[in-house]
Structure 1
Amino acid sequence: MSLRLFNWRRIGKEALLLVLVLVVVIPFLMIVVNSFKDVTEAGRFKLTLPKELDFSNFEAVFADGKIWRGYMNSALISVGALIVTNLFASLAAFSIQRNGTRLTNFLYYFFIVGLVMPVSLIPTIKLMMNLGIHNTYQGMIVYYSAVLLPFTIFLMTGYLKTIPRELDESGIIDGCGPLRLFIKIMLPLMQPVMITASLLTIISVWNDFMGPFYLLTDGAKWTVTVSVYNYVGKYSSDWNLIFADILVVILPVIVLYFLLQEYIVEGMTAGALKG
């Protein structure tokens, strides 16, 4: 009886996982097959293979040069957000985890609240205008850093719990101050979680559409994801070009994810067993 129940549970779990896989895979297949179709075929939104491979869609996407500009903008904002987020998150996580005072514990939970708080764009736009950073690269870097800091601090704090405090004591005996202890001892040991945080930051910033669409009014500063909007008209849309553009946009982060996915898993699970 228990064996049958186990089998049914296993089958149910595998069926659920298969459904979840299809939820992810089918939209991606839709993008791939329709990016090689002409405008009429792509407008039907079917998973059927194209009658003839049409590579002119990709030529058209790269022809006007906007996507190259979008790549540069996305890279600049992604790298800037990565540096700022990792720097301040690692310092905050080190102070929170190693001190363990009431103040640092309060700050930790204060940051955790940011994981569930939604981003309100209208007050954000107003604040950025008052600070003079609206429609600027610096403003976008600060925006993404603020959005991504809570999760990054949570991730790094959990990882630091796996690093023995005896290493801190050894460093202090050798004459290390707090900053030198952090730079010389903690940062090298935090490499896995730093790589994880970096990848998640790049993927989050690169794939975001709403942020740059509303916070950047200058089309020359738009990121590569917003380039999809170039092919959407009031009365009609070039779906073949939209699908081709989407594929070109998401391909770099997909390749990056598959190349470095082992670091993501390592960094995400390192602090799961302690604290």
Structure 2
Amino acid sequence: MEHPGRRTLVSLIVFLGALVILVPFYMILVNSFKGIRESALFGMGLPSEWSFDNYKEVFDKGNIVRGFKNSFLISGLVVVCVTLFASMAAFVIQRRDDRFMRSAYLLFIMGLIVPVSIVPTIRLMGDLHIRGTYLSLIMYYTAVLLPFAVFLLVGFMKQIPRELDEAALLEGCGYFRLYWRIILPLLVTVLVTVTIVVMVSVWNDFFGPFYLMTDSTKWTIVLQIFNFVSLYNTNWGIVFAFMVIVIAPILLVYLLLQRYIIDGLTAGSVKG
């Protein structure tokens, strides 16, 4: 039987952890309704006078539509590439399970540990003459996020019995058809998890587009914040309003689908 004092301590720790996460969101939201002087204080109190002018300014001058279009385009294509390539790689790695595939899997695991070096990446993109294009960002994010997706899918695929493969092959099913018609539908839960994690990672990233995207018309929504930040005069109320607009769509998606994230992350830990 669990001790009541221990349960209280755990609840207190969880509550304090939630505060650490929620306080910055609260500060951003509250200051987005303040004027230029009041928002510059970065206070936690409510505005002396609620104003929606900051949001109006963002929509008038922030290139919101173009930023959202670029972010959705890049995020969507990265999600397609990562889920497709990772599911294929995980299927082959887990089903063949020989020395070569185990070595390939270890290389993917190294991708989770070794940090990305941005200078060689910029040089490589320049040599390939694709720096500043949508393709450069899609390739960059796919390479960075593919190891996590492969790791998650390999763990989940261990739960799918090999007898299912053998029965399909005996019925004349080819390997690609086995993957596409039988294995892939069984990966829906974990693929939803991969989709959400990849979408959030790409949507919120600042440094990738900052270093690799030279054309401002192709900037993602996060980079559009530069339109309102200057060295000597920054209206932080507008900046905070912009942050709220950027966070809102992806936060809503996360809240609606968080159950799938939990299910997908824990599914691969049952066996193997």
- Note if 1:16 corresponds to 2:7: no
Corresponding residue of 1:206: 203
Q: Distance in 2 between matches of 1:172 and 1:36?
A: 62
- Structure 2 residue corresponding to 1:263, chosen from 256, 260, 263: 260
CA RMSD of aligned residues (A): 1.3
Corresponding residue of 1:107: 104
Question: What does 1:1-275 align with in structure 2 at a 5 Å threshold?
Answer: 6-275=3-272
| Structure 2 counterpart SS, 1:237 | coil
State the AA in 2 paired with 1:209.
Answer: F
Name the count of aligned residue pairs: 272
Q: Distance in 2 between matches of 1:184 and 1:88?
A: 16
Tell me how far 1:162 sits from its aligned partner.
Answer: 1.2
Q: Distance in 2 between matches of 1:120 and 1:23?
A: 30
Q: Is the 8 A contact 2:132 2:215 kept in 1?
A: yes
String of CA shifts for 1:163-190, please: whole Å, max 9, x gaps: 1111111111111111110001001111
Name structure 1 gaps, 5 residues minimum. Answer: none
Q: Distance in 1 between matches of 2:118 and 2:36?
A: 34
Tell me how far 1:265 sits from its aligned partner.
Answer: 1.1
Name structure 2 gaps, 5 residues minimum. Answer: none
Tell me how far 1:110 sits from its aligned partner.
Answer: 0.7
Q: Distance in 1 between matches of 2:17 and 2:126?
A: 41
Q: Distance in 2 between matches of 1:7 and 1:193?
A: 35
State the AA in 2 paired with 1:245.
Answer: F
Tell me how far 1:273 sits from its aligned partner.
Answer: 1.3
Q: Distance in 1 between matches of 2:62 and 2:222?
A: 14
- Normalised by the size of structure 1, how large is the TM-score? 0.96
String of CA shifts for 1:140-161, please: whole Å, max 9, x gaps: 0000000000000001111101
Q: Is the 8 A contact 2:62 2:227 kept in 1?
A: no
Q: Is the 8 A contact 2:62 2:224 kept in 1?
A: no
Tell me how far 1:255 sits from its aligned partner.
Answer: 0.3
Q: Distance in 2 between matches of 1:100 and 1:109?
A: 12
Tell me how far 1:7 sits from its aligned partner.
Answer: 4.3
Tell me how far 1:65 sits from its aligned partner.
Answer: 5.0
Q: Distance in 1 between matches of 2:67 and 2:104?
A: 36
Q: Distance in 2 between matches of 1:235 and 1:219?
A: 22
